[in-house]
Amino acid sequence: MHLTVKNIIDLKNNVKKKIIELNFSNYSPNIIAVSKTFPIENVIPLIDYGHKHFGENKVQEAMGKWNNIKSRNIEIRLHMIGKLQSNKVKNAVSIFDYIHSVDSLKLAKKIAEEQQKQKKNLKIFIQVNVGDESQKNGVRLSDVDKLVEECKNINLDVAGLMCLPPIDESASNYFSLIKRKNDELALKEISLGMSNDYLEALSFKTTFIRVGTKIFGERN
C-alpha cells in the first residue's frame, strides 16, 4: 500500500472517531487532498484508491499536472485553494471545479465572464480574512454579505465561505464566526480546516477540509 493511501485511510479514521465523539449523525465531510508541489506520481495511488477531491494553489501547476488525468477520470473534482490572479482566470475556469479564494467583485466578474464563454459552472467559496491580517487575502467579515449578494447577482454559484484563521490563536473562535455567518446566509457548504486544525473544524460541520501535509508529507 502506497504511503499516501495509508495516510488518507488514517485521516478518514481520525475524522470518523471525532464525528462519533461529537455525536453528529448524517455528517461526512469531503477531504481535499492538497497535492500542490508534489509530482503526479504521488497522487496517482490516491486516484487508484478512489479518492475524488484534490487541491492545488497554482493554476499553471494544475494545468500541467491534471489536464490529461481529469479527461480520463471524470469524477475527479479539482479545487483551487490559492490566490487567483485575474490573468489566470481563463485557465482556472477550464481546469478547476471549485475556487475557494474569491475575495473581490472584480475577480468574481472575471470568473462569471469566463464561465459563460466556456459554458461551465464552478462552485465558488468566498475567502474571508477572519482575523483581519494584513498579510492574508480575503474579504472582511463585515463585507461578506455584500460580496455574496454581488456574486449571486452575476449568476455565480456561491457554495459557502472559506477562511484561514490566525496561526497563533485558537482556530475554533474564528471557525465559529465563519460558521455563524455561513448559516445566516443559508449557504450549503463551508471550507474550514487544514492539517493542523481539521479536527477543530469538524466541530463546526465543515463540509470540506483541505489537507496536504498529513497525506503527502512535508514539502521541501
C-alpha torsion angle, residues 95, 149, 187, 8 (rounded to 10):
30
Rg (CA), the chain: 17
pTM score over 0.75: yes
Query: What contacts 17, CB < 8 A, 6 or more positions away?
Result: none
Distance CA 204, CA 25 (A): 13
Model pLDDT, residue 131: 75
Partners of 191 in the β-ladder: 162, 208
The cell for 30 is 469531503
Distance CA 66, CA 35 (A): 11
Model pLDDT, residue 220: 64
Query: What contacts 216, CB < 8 A, 6 or more positions away?
Result: 4, 7, 33, 34, 35, 38, 42
Model pLDDT, residue 59: 97
Q: pLDDT per residue over 150-159, tens digit each?
A: 999 999 999 9
**Residues 81 and 53 sit within 8 Å (Cβ to Cβ):** no
Q: pLDDT class for 217, splitting at 50, 70, 90? A: confident
Residue found under cell 447577482: 153
Report all structural domains of the chain as residue ranges with CATH numbers, in order of start: 3-18+30-216 (3.20.20.10)
Q: How many CB atoms lie within 10 A of CB 145?
A: 12
**Residues 182 and 211 sit within 8 Å (Cβ to Cβ):** no
In Å, the largest CA–CA distance within the chain is: 48
Distance CA 162, CA 191 (A): 5
**Residues 202 and 183 sit within 8 Å (Cβ to Cβ):** no
Average pLDDT on 74-102 reads 96
Q: pLDDT per residue over 47-60, tens digit each?
A: 999 999 999 999 99
Q: pLDDT per residue over 180-193, tens digit each?
A: 999 999 999 999 99
**Residues 111 and 99 sit within 8 Å (Cβ to Cβ):** yes
Phi, psi of 179 (to 5 degrees): -60, -45
Q: What percent of the chain has pLDDT over 70?
A: 100
